[in-house]
Each structure stands twice: as C-alpha cells, then as structure tokens.
Amino acid sequence: MTAASLPLPTSPRRLWRRALVPLGAALVVAGLLAATVGRPSNAGSGAALLTAPRNAAVSSTGTRAQALARAQAHLRAVPKDAAAWAALGSLEVEQARVTADPTWYPKADGAFHRSLTLQPAGNVGALVGQAMLANARHDFAGALRLGERARAMRPYNAAVYGVVGDAEVELGRYDEAAATIQRMVDLRPDLASYSRVSYLRELHGDVEGATAALESAAQVAGNPSDAAFAAFQLGELRWNTGDVAGAADAYARAVKLDPTYVPPAAALARVHAATGDQAAAAREYEAAIARVPAPQYVTELGDLNQAMGRPAQAQARAQLLAVEEKLFRANGVNVDLESSLFSADHHTNLAAGLRAAEDEYTRRKSVFVADALAWQLHANGRDTEALRHADEALRLGTRSALFHFHRGMIELSLGRTDAARADLAEAIAINPHFSLLHAPEAAAALGK
C-alpha cells in the first residue's frame, strides 16, 4: 500500500476526542494509557491533548501547567501510581514541545523510568511515552524499537501506531509507515490519524488527497484548540503549494480559534514578510519568539533581518541559535539535520555542517536528510555527489519548492543549464515565496 492510497473511513466508528502535534517535531500523546487503565480522560490546552488516567487527577479543563501541577500533587499523595508517572512524563514531553524548552525532556525521562520501575511488565503507557520522547529527541531508531515493543503488547492501541508510524516516516521507511498509519486510521479515525495520512500524502505529491485528509481532521475536531491545529496544518499545506492568500486565511482562523497557539501567529509573520510588509513581520516574529523561542522562528527572523539590511540583528539571531543548539544537545536532542541546513544556507562552519549531514544520513534515509546532505555537499563543492542525493530527495514526487531549488542550483554548478532552469522554474511555480533567502536567488538565476 502506498501513502497516496490510504483511504479515509466512510462510516467512522465512534470518534474519541483527541488532538495531536505536528509530525516530525513530537508525537500524539492521546490514548497512551488506554491499554493499561481503560478509557482515558482528556486533559489539554493549545493544539495538543494530554491523556491521563482519572486517578491521576488530570481533568479536561485548565491549562497544561495546571495539569502538570495536578499530576505532581497526585504523585506526592500516591507515589507508587505507575500509570500516573507515565502520564506525567507525557505531559512533560508536551510541555517541552510547546515551550521550546528541552530541559523538560530529562524530567520526562525520569518519570517514564519511575513508571517502569513500579510496573516493569506490561507497562504500555510508559513504553509509548518513551517512544514519544525518543522521537522528540530525534532518536527515531530508538523510538521505533520502543514502539514495536509496545505494539507487541497491545496491537489494538492506536497511540502505539502513531509513535511507530512517525518513527518510520522519519527513518525514510515510507511503505512501512503507510501500512502502520493505515492501521491507526482503522483503529481510531481521528485528528491524529487523519493528520498523519495528510502528511504522507503530501510527501508523495498528492496535495489534493492531503487536503482531503486535513478537512476530515477538521470535521472531527473536538474543541477549538483541536480545530486551530487542523486549520494551521491546512495553512501549511496551502503555503507549501503557493496559495499565500489561502494560507493566510487558514492561519488567521487558527489564531482566532486558539489565541494561545503560537505557530499560526508565527506563520502569519512569514506571510507578511513574503508579501512585502517586512516591518510588521519582524514585530510579529519578535512577539512569537517572546512567547515560544523556537529555533525555526529565530532562524526565520534572522533571515528577515538580513533581507531588511540589518546584519547586526541577523548576527544576534545566529548567536541565539548557537546557544539554543547547545541547550538542545545538552538535553539529549539530535539537531544534526537542522544545524547542517543552517550551515549550508549561511555558508558557515561548512566542514562541521557536512559531517553533521553525513552522520545523520548514516542514521536515516528520509527525503529531508537526503536533501540536506545534497545541499551541504553542494556548499562544499562536491556537486556530482550532491546531485545523486538531490535526486534521492525527490524520489517520492514531493512537491517541495526547496528540494527543486537545491537540485536546480546543483545542476547549475554542474553546467546542466536546461535541467537547472527546469528545476528552478518548478520551485517558483510551486511557491514563489518559498524562502526569503533562496526565492530571490532562484528568480535571479532564471533571469526574472
């Protein structure tokens, strides 16, 4: 089964109220404990949902901080509650994601280990939580091993298939991921499973199918925060296909649905930067970073500062990114892919950037890692090797303006002018605003 053939159920069974987090960044945390404590209760805010057993005192209302406080208070009173320790770990993984603060990861790790110490056998909730943590730290091979252990214990638990499928996607095992995510859809057709279907379809170039899956996700959103997540993801899909107005509408809808959710606010800054209102975009990025200092937002603001002729501010952003990279690494997060791309984009520390890309490629063969390695090889003047990996990055038919731009610039360096022009034109056709750094380069190379 290919990702493009993943069906959506026409008569969904009773849907569980769930939310999810973006693929590749962190994993869905709904239903982690269902296999061990029965029907879960919901607790969450923002765009993700945390599930805990009822006896963990995590309710369906209140903020994530309140949910953490309740879980901690419960564990002070009942310190041998293994399921509650697993729930606390899941909350802490989610807290790290939404705050861009990786210091929560060691805390989550400790909570999962405590849970497994108390209940070493059959503790699916803690195993899935550990897999979620491994994925968040970009240890995808480790996440897959943990997820497979959990699947062997509870083959009918949908959350198990979420963490396994995410790991398989990031490892570049796309056929296996399609089968895994199809099983997740069959078990529980909800935001988590529909969103994964959408992502796989997008990777395979099926934009229409990806949109249909996101629309299905929006239809089963159980609360405004869930709906905001679905709207944001639809905006991302529209942005990636060059529909700037449609993306802006979706982002604005997400902000209205959940003003506490930062990603659509940062995405609106990107829209304003692309459409000429750079001063407003800079202010919006600053506001987003003040709320959540995510490396992506810092990078985009740095590129915007460079485009605005503010090199000092751009350098300050680069210094902040270096500090953040050290913080993430110190807390067990592998950032080789991200650091290698930044290195190649900004022509800094190229030898180290190439080592990072090569190291990551030994661990996983996803299209994103192939693209990063191609771009780093190009930056280091090794274009013949780079072209092979640029072709590999496009092997699924992904409609990525950035992938085509990278291959076009590599082909240009190799003197393959016609092929280069075709790829650069394709990048502009997919999304003329795909990058503040590179869209102008593509247009200049085409003589536009």
Out of 25-39, 185-199, 291-305, least confident range: 25-39
Query: For residues 356 and 343, is the Cβ–Cβ distance under 8 A?
Result: yes
CA distance 303 to 282: 10
List Cα–Cα distances, 227 to 17, 23, 27, 253, 268, in angstroms: 11, 17, 17, 9, 17
Domain 261-329 has CATH 1.25.40: yes
Top-confidence residue, 384 or 63: 384
Nearest-angstrom CA–CA distance, 386 and 358: 12
Rg for the chain, CA atoms, rounded: 21
From residue 205, alpha-carbon distances to 265, 305, 434 in Å are 27, 32, 16
| Angle CA 298–304–308, to nearest 5 | 145
User: Cα-flanking dihedrals φ and ψ of residue 48, to 5°?
Assistant: -135, 160
Q: Indicate the pTM of the whole model.
A: 0.86
Return the pLDDT at 5: 59
Pick 447 or 282 by higher pLDDT.
Answer: 282
> What's the confidence (pLDDT) of residue 25?
30
60 vs 247, residue with greater confidence: 247
Q: Is residue 31 predicted with pLDDT exceeding 70?
A: no
pLDDT, averaged across the chain? 87
pLDDT level of residue 64 (50, 70, 90 thresholds) = confident
The residue whose two tokens read 């975009």 is 281
- Mean pLDDT, residues 336-351: 96
The mean-pLDDT minimum among 23-37, 362-376, 426-440 falls in 23-37
Q: Do the domains spanning 13-223 and 261-329 agree at the CATH topology level?
A: yes
Q: Where are the domains of the chain?
A: 13-223, 261-329, 335-448
Contact indicator for 278, 67 with CB cutoff of 8 Å: no
Asked if the model's pLDDT at residue 27 lies above 80, the reply is: no
Residue 28 pLDDT: 30
The answer on pLDDT for 58 being more than 90 is no
Token pair of 270 as six digits: 């990107």
> What topology is assigned to 335-448 in CATH?
1.25.40
Name the CATH topology of 13-223: 1.25.40
**pLDDT(48) > 80:** no
Residue 88, pLDDT > 70, answer: yes
The predicted structure's pLDDT at residue 448: 64
- On the question of pLDDT at 13 being above 70, the answer is no
pLDDT in tens, 233-246: 999 999 999 999 99
Please write the tens of the pLDDT for every residue from 426-437.
999 999 999 999
Share of the chain above pLDDT 90, in %: 82
Instruction: Return the pLDDT at 65.
Output: 81
pLDDT at position 141, please? 98
| 128-155 pLDDT tens trace | 999 999 999 999 999 999 999 999 999 9
Cβ-based neighbours of 244, under 8 Å, separated by 6 or more: 238, 271, 274, 275, 433
